Amino acid sequence: MQGFYPVLDMDALTARGIPVLEFACAVLAVRPALIQFRAKHLGSRETLGWLRGLRPLATRSGTALFANDRPDLALLGGCDGVHLGQEDLEPSEVRRRWPELRLGISTHNPEELAAALAERPDYVAYGPVFPTRSKERADPAVGLEGLRRAAERAEAARCTLVAIGGIDLERAPEIRALGAMGALIAALLPPVYSAAAVTERALALKLAFGG
């Protein structure tokens, strides 16, 4: 896999009053390889409802839909995969109980990266690469040098690496040069919202990341 990895973050969207499904359609218009729905402060029923709403949109664009944190809701919502954090279920447990799901794992340091790669997931995310405001209590930034070392280990393991944290259009060439995908939240949000502006940003990011 290559390119950019848009993350639909409910907190970021609702804070600005942006309609979620309209925003998703605008991003999916450029056909990213993956998209993730992230809803840290919603209940199970609400999260499932949004996943079920996103499923046909992702299908039409040929985009794999990942749910954040919850493999049970990912399966019920018809998702392709689940993105696990370090405090979520163990990857081996997810594989045992939900073998249908593709798997992505967040990592923040070399030790977590090594453990994640040993699980042979579909991708590992590494970061934050740069300081970010999209996550509460974010881990220390690893910088481009830390990402370069992670890219070497991911390549050796033949696993896709996703860079996350503070990534925008200006930094995309640096991330692409290291062979990593770029996960994006804030970079997708234009100063003045419109669906057309979101699609324009998404297209620019897709081209910058090369896929």
Q: Tell me the pLDDT tens digit for each residue of 102-146.
A: 999 999 999 999 999 999 999 999 999 998 766 666 678 999 999
Residue 62 has pLDDT above 80, yes or no: yes
Residue 1 has pLDDT above 80, yes or no: no
Region 144-170: what's the mean pLDDT? Answer: 97
Q: Tell me the pLDDT tens digit for each residue of 66-87.
A: 999 999 999 999 999 999 999 9
Q: Residue 132's pLDDT is what?
A: 75
Confidence band (pLDDT; 50, 70, 90) for 211? confident
Q: Provide the number of structural domains found in the chain.
A: 1
Using omega within 30 degrees of 0 as the cis cutoff, is the peptide bond preceding 173 cis? no
Residue from 74, 2, 3 nearest 38 by CA = 74
Q: What does the alpha-carbon distance between residue 179 and residue 122 come to, in Å, rounded to a whole number?
A: 15
Question: Can you give the CATH number for the domain in which 24 is found?
Answer: 3.20.20.70
CA dihedral 4, 140, 138, 198 (to 10 degrees): -30
Q: Residue 134's pLDDT is what?
A: 61
Per the structure, the complete domain to which residue 184 belongs is given by 4-209
Output the average pLDDT for the chain: 95
Q: What does the alpha-carbon distance between residue 95 and residue 98 come to, in Å, rounded to a whole number?
A: 5
Region 154-178: what's the mean pLDDT? Answer: 96
For the CA atoms of the chain, what is the radius of gyration? 16
Q: Residue 2's pLDDT is what?
A: 79
